[in-house]
Amino acid sequence: MRGLGVALLLASWAWAQAPAERLFNARVDPEQGRRLWSANCAVCHGAEGKGGRGPDLTTGQFRHGGTDDDLYRAIRNGIPGTEMPGFPLTGAESMQLLAFVRALGRAAMPTPTEGDAARGRALFAEGGQCTSCHRVGGAGSRIGPDLSDAGARLAPSDLLASLLHPDERVLPMHWYVRAVTRDGRTITGRRLNEDTYSVQLIDAQDRLVSLVKQELKEYELIKKSPMPAYEGKFTREQLGDLVAYLASLKGTP
Amino acid sequence: MKRAVAVALWLSCCVPSGAQVTYERLLHADKEPQNWLTYSGSYKSWRYSALDQIRTGNASSLELKWVYQLNAIDKFEATPLVVDGVMYFTQPPSDVIAVDGKTGRAFWTYRYTLSGNVSVCCGRVNRGLAILGDTLFLAALDGNLVALDAKTGKEVWRTRVVDPSLGYSLTMAPLVVKDKVILGPAGGEFGIRGFLAAFDARTGKEAWKFQTIPGPGEAGHETWAGDAWQHGGGPVWLTGSYDPELNLIIQGVGNPSPDWNPTVRPGDNLYASSVIALDADTGKLKWHYQFMPNDAWDWDAMQTPVIVDAEWQGQPRKLLYWANRNGVFYVLDRTNGKFLSGKPFAKVTWLAGFDENGRPKLQPNSLPTAEGTLLYPGVQGATNWYAPSYSPRTGLFYLSVWADYYSVYQEGEAEYVPGRRFNGGNIRQPLAFGRNTTLLPNEEQGYGALKALNPKTGETVWQVKFADLTEGGVLTTAGDVVFTGNREGYFQAFDARDGKLLWKASLGGYIAAGPVTFSVDGKQYVAVAAGHGMFVFGLP
């Protein structure tokens, strides 16, 4: 076969052909759904859907739309701007998978830790200096990941893990660039795009910067998080407050 | 002999005077480098041009001459033809456009209406046309071979080749040999039974048909168990080559079906994942070599066969160069298909060597399992259909490579349902597919590259690594320039001798086609399909 490289095109074509009504009334086959899940999804979303490289899908909330139609498209076409690729499944297979994902989502969202979200909010904005890198609801820096919907994407346990061990899971979309120009200027920023000859980034002053690699003295892609690990820096109580605050951030629907 | 006379008579008696492209011209396509008369540039499929106006010394001043924007949403994989100043190319799925080579202004557009839904594995694509006399030949996606008047774009005849409701489709540029138009179907993911067939160029009547999956009573049928042959795959979706001295059509054959479950089709599964050599007049098999007996990874032999006469271990020999999807660069004797050498050009973990007949030996634990088997190369192959190039000046073989990445090959159930996918398993891999800027591969996950191989040794002489993967075809010229594009949308010129970057242009769209060069009024141009446009460059 030509392969999956044009899965997206293929998927959109298949979508165009898919007689939606018939598929949506297909008999649910949990066994087939589980098989498809194991073969395609578990590698990123975890065997039980609790998340991993991809988000937790057991919360019943879907960041990129939770209608059958949204989920079907996400499975078939992938989600632009994320690591979620499209999968070359038949229409019927996609529907079985969708049913399986729905069943996963019936598990309740884990209860947030016993922190105080209001105190966490204050810590986030002031003492913690989080907004010098992160942005919530339109305020703060753009150089780090936008956390406006952190609570919708990550379970409290994952939020805590990110605070304690930020280097453990850094998505490629959050990698940093450190470059030194021929005249000795050092430029750092979050990588927005890169190709063979150039790289585009956003720096700490929110400037969009494009660099030609050939004109650089040094060029390094940093795959670790520039965020400090907060283990020992914040008290247990402070960490609980921060997690409670972050868990309350659900974005704007 | 009778046939030759008949062909000669037909050529002299029936082609109107002023007809454009005689078979004689196709035979010597390399002698008229101002044109690009076949998909691969010549029957030898070198994608090498004797034009040398654009050279290593001046390529840096290349500039855009014109762009033709398609009216299409499907991926643009076509190699154009150029005939005496007129460029012909396909607009996916199955339209044809004739434009002026100097200005890009259209003479005519032929719009083809698909008859209905077509099941395709990998996009509603088309890779190009063939020409003979004043007639263009189009393999339309939904199964028709169409002949068009090259002057007007009017349909001359159409012939039904395959039934799209059974998972067959047509995507390749046909090959014209003598008075016949040669092509085969795609559909290796749908349990088709592949073939290569020849059609009379004047009438569209089928002249011969070679089934790539032999039926009962045919040689090779014994390599299939039970009824598996009936849906055994073996598609043909990339143009082959032709050796006029041996009168052989040399053609790659695709994967057996189902892709990743070989247990339902025990045996070698001839002639899937093989190269076949057929008598051009009769379609009779002269020899074959199977790269992957009982292929379990979908490493189909859909690569361009490259015909070179060269010394092999001190003896002049008729050779066939083949960079296979399975990661191995092969040299075969094209008089008989004898295996001469096979050397990996990227990371390969399935191969444990070859026996004395050139049959590959598998490493233990290479076969797909229900849990999954991690193997290099990944399912897209270490290369694929991306057109390679051979330059007689450097003696090097140039190709697009997906280096050092793996897939996890998972065997699954395989139930044949007409027209439905028949994969028999699944694939997982870390490497991102598709254009997504935050998903560029890490080097540890593999990388895309343009490689120059020494065909005598299979060794990499130089390579250029790209940030993203590459599906670009390659063109070399007598100016010692290598042209290729990549997924990033860069169209680039490199020095053919050492890979030094000479020039690049960012075309803003995925390049997944082979560039060509031609000249009009003594001025050399280079053309490539990118995104949804045909881009043409020249010197100031």
Residues 397-436 of B with CB under 8 A from A: 410, 412, 420-421, 426-428, 432-434, 436
Contact: B438, A39; criterion CB under 8 Å? no
Tell whether A101 is covered by a domain. yes
Q: What pLDDT band is residue A7 in, cutting at 50, 70 and 90?
A: very low
**Both A82 and A184 in a single domain?**
no
Tell whether A58 is covered by a domain. yes
**Both A33 and A83 in a single domain?**
yes
Q: In what order do the strands lie in the sheet with B241-243?
A: B241-243, B248-252, B274-279, B285-290
Return the pLDDT at A10: 33
Return the pLDDT at A5: 38
Q: Residue B368: name the closest of B403, B340, B410 by CA.
A: B410
More reliable by pLDDT, A252 or A7:
A252
Has residue A12 got a pLDDT over 70? no
pLDDT tens column, B235-276: 999 999 999 999 999 999 999 999 999 999 999 999 999 999
Contact: B122, A3; criterion CB under 8 Å? yes
Tell whether A111 is covered by a domain. no
Return the pLDDT at A112: 55
Distance CA A158, CA A145 (A): 15
Name B535's Cβ contacts closer than 8 Å, sequence gap at least 6: B64, B67, B491, B505, B507, B527, B528, B529
Q: In what order do the strands lie in the sheet with B447-454?
A: B389-391, B396-403, B447-454, B459-466
Q: What pLDDT band is residue B432 in, cutting at 50, 70 and 90?
A: low
- B298 catalytically annotated: yes
**Both A27 and A78 in a single domain?**
yes
The CA-CA-CA angle for residues B242, B244, B247, to 5°, reads 85
Q: Nearest CA to CA, how far is B222 from chain A (Å)?
A: 24
ipTM of predicted assembly, 2 dp: 0.85
Superfamily of domain B2-538: Quinoprotein alcohol dehydrogenase-like superfamily (2.140.10.10)
B404, amino acid identity:
D
Return the pLDDT at B251: 98
CB B290 within 8 A of CB B276: no
**Given the residues B179, B259, B298, B495, the one annotated as active site:** B298
Q: What are residue A207's phi and psi, to 5 degrees?
A: -90, 140
Q: What pLDDT band is residue B329 in, cutting at 50, 70 and 90?
A: very high
Return the pLDDT at A4: 39
Nearest residue on chain A to B117, judged by CA atoms? A17
Distance CA B327, CA B341 (A): 13
pLDDT tens column, B165-214: 999 999 999 999 999 999 999 999 999 999 999 999 999 999 999 999 99
- Whether pTM > 0.90 for this model: the answer is no
Q: What pLDDT band is residue A130 in, cutting at 50, 70 and 90?
A: very high
Q: Residue B524: name the closest of B508, B514, B536 by CA.
A: B536
Residues 22-61 of A with CB under 8 A from B: 35, 39-40, 43
Task: List the CATH number of the domain containing A143.
Answer: 1.10.760.10
Name B120's Cβ contacts closer than 8 Å, sequence gap at least 6: A10, A13, B141, B169, B171, B186
Residues 293-322 of B with CB under 8 A from A: 298, 300, 302
Average confidence (pLDDT) over B215-233? 97
Contact: B490, A5; criterion CB under 8 Å? no
Write down the domain spans for chain B. Answer: 2-538
The H-or-E segment that residue A102 falls in is helix A91-105
pLDDT tens column, B75-122: 999 999 999 999 999 999 999 999 999 999 999 999 999 998 898 988
B201, amino acid identity:
A
Q: Taking the alpha carbons of B421, B422, B426, B429 in that order, is the dihedral positive or negative? A: negative
Distance CA A235, CA A239 (A): 6
Q: Is A6 on the interface with B (CB under 8 A)?
A: yes
DSSP 8-state secondary structure symbol assigned to residue B33 = T
Q: For residue B410, which residues of chain A lie inside 8 Å, CB to CB?
A: 39
- State the average pLDDT for chain B: 94
Has residue A154 got a pLDDT over 90? no
More reliable by pLDDT, B391 or A238:
B391
Q: What pLDDT band is residue A103 in, cutting at 50, 70 and 90?
A: confident
- Within 10 angstroms of residue A18's Cβ, the number of other Cβ atoms is 19
**Both A101 and A186 in a single domain?**
no
Q: What pLDDT band is residue B14 in, cutting at 50, 70 and 90?
A: very low
CB B179 within 8 A of CB B43: no
**Both A176 and A144 in a single domain?**
no
**Both A134 and A184 in a single domain?**
no
Return the pLDDT at A105: 59
Q: Is A253 on the interface with B (CB under 8 A)?
A: no
Q: What pLDDT band is residue A16 in, cutting at 50, 70 and 90?
A: very low
Of A5, A13, A90, the CB nearest to B380: A5
Contact: A2, B471; criterion CB under 8 Å? no
Contact: A39, B410; criterion CB under 8 Å? yes
Name B146's Cβ contacts closer than 8 Å, sequence gap at least 6: B94, B112, B137, B138, B139, B140, B155, B157, B158
Q: Nearest CA to CA, how far is B380 from chain A (Å)?
A: 5
Specify burial of residue A11 (Cβ count, 10 A radius: 0-12, 13-18, 19+): buried
Bridge-based pairing of strands B533-538 and B63-69 is antiparallel
Q: Nearest CA to CA, how far is A18 from chain B (Å)?
A: 11
Tell me the range of A132-141, A225-234, B169-178 where mean pLDDT is highest: B169-178
**Both A144 and A178 in a single domain?**
no
**Given 3-state DSSP classes, what are the helix, strand and coil percentages for chain B, each rounded to the nearest 5?**
10, 40, 50
For B517, the 3-state DSSP assignment is strand
pLDDT tens column, A48-67: 788 877 888 887 777 787 77
Domain end: A80, A105, A130, which one?
A: A105
Task: List the CATH number of the domain containing A176.
Answer: 2.30.30.100
Tell whether A36 is covered by a domain. yes
**Both A37 and A88 in a single domain?**
yes
Q: What pLDDT band is residue B132 in, cutting at 50, 70 and 90?
A: very high
Q: Which of A61-75, B123-137, B210-224, B315-329 has the lowest mean pLDDT?
A: A61-75
Q: Nearest CA to CA, how far is A9 from chain B (Å)?
A: 6
Residues 368-387 of B with CB under 8 A from A: 379-381, 384-385
Q: What pLDDT band is residue A215 in, cutting at 50, 70 and 90?
A: very high
Q: Residue B269: name the closest of B236, B301, B298, B293 by CA.
A: B293
Beta bridge partners of B273: none
Q: Taking the alpha carbons of B394, B395, B401, B404 in that order, is the dihedral positive or negative? A: negative
B415, amino acid identity:
E
Domain of residue A127, residue span: 117-164+230-247
3-state secondary structure B324-383: CCCCEEEEEECCCCEEEEEEECCCCCCEEEECCCCCEEECCCCCCECCCEEECCCCCCCC
Specify burial of residue B98 (Cβ count, 10 A radius: 0-12, 13-18, 19+): buried
